[in-house]
Each structure stands twice: as C-alpha cells, then as structure tokens.
Amino acid sequence: MPETTRPHLALVSPEASGPAGDAPTDAISFDEAYARHSGYVAGLVGRILGRNDDVPDVVQDVFLIVHRRLQSVRSQGALRAWLGRIAIREASRRLRWRRVRLFLQPARTIEADLVADDGAKADLQPLVALLYSTLDRVPPRARVAWVLRHLQDEPLDTVAELCGCSIATAKRRIAGAELLLRPILGPAEADE
C-alpha cells in the first residue's frame, strides 16, 4: 500500500485568506484610532466611573487592547462600537475592584465635573456627587446599563449591544439600577 503524504499546515496572512472582498478595505492605523476616538472612550469611561483619577488608567488599558487587536476590526464603521464594548468591559472591571476596595478604604469624593453641564455645574455638583455615591452601591452591570441609557442617552438597542446582552436583559439591568437609585431620584413616573 503506497504511503500518502498529508498536507502540512501553514499560517496564512489575512490578506491571502478568503476571497479578495474579505480583506479590510478601510483599515485604520492605531494612531488614527486613538486620535479620533480617545475622547469618546474617555467620556464614556468617565461617565461610568464618575472619577477623574481612574479615567486615564482605563483609557490606557483600552488602547493597549486596541493596539493588540486593531487588525481584527473589519471596517471603520464598526470601530466605535468595538471601542465602546472594550471601554465598558474595562470600566466594569474597575468598578468590580472598586466595590471590593470600598470595604477597605474610606469613601472618596466624586468629581461632579465629569457629568454636570458647564452652565449649571455649581447647582448640580452636590446632586451629581450624591448620584455617583449611590451608583457605587449598584452592581457594575446594572450601573453600566443605567449610565448608558440615562447619562449617555443611548437607545436600548445600543445599550444592549455595548453591554453584550439582549434588549430584555438591558431593560432588567436598568430597572434594577433604578430600584436602587429610587431614594435619590424619587418615584418612577408612571407610563401612560
């Protein structure tokens, strides 16, 4: 019986695999991605965390991940949502660690300038500080969904996409956060 040779496995570059249409046509460099989207990532992380001292570290973590995986993004149109998901995952990780440290360290002050409008900053600072100190007691997944929906004004489908869950799960997370926030937000308005 003649011996058959097996084909050897070989690494193939992304450009050489699949039809020509599969290759990314509008690739973006890391520097371009950072220049265009670092403000978005910092704003998103700042709204979720509520503290300026954590934002640069999380933004750096996000862009370290982006630097390693940017080639996996197929189009510029998908880049912003992809960055948002990474930013949310890293901010959520920071929130989980914060909850652990909450028992070990005294409470820190909340920097209300992250979310308060410039025109009404002085009036809103105490309320924003109260909101974020209460948000520190909300589980990270529910907090992220609530912040995206109510502070970032994202539609439910975008909240679900960024959180990596279904719309129904996003609604449950938002409702759970609202239940814990009700003492400072007041009673929920009845839907008519």
Rounded to two decimals, the pTM is: 0.69
pLDDT in tens, 1-40: 555 555 444 443 444 444 444 444 467 889 999 999 999 9
114: CB partners within 8 A, 6+ apart: 46, 47, 50, 51, 52, 55
Predicted confidence at residue 8, as pLDDT, reads: 46
Q: How confident is the model at residue 54 (pLDDT cuts 50, 70, 90)?
A: confident
Question: What secondary structure does DSSP assign to 127-160, as a single string?
Answer: HHHHHHHHHTTS-HHHHHHHIIIIIS---HHHHH
| Contact assessment for residue 56 and residue 63, using Cβ atoms and an 8 Å cutoff | no
What is the per-residue pLDDT for 97?
81
DSSP string for 5-73: PPPPP----TTTSS-GGGS-SS---HHHHHHHHHHHHHHHHHHHH--TTTHHHHHHHHHHHHHHHGGG-
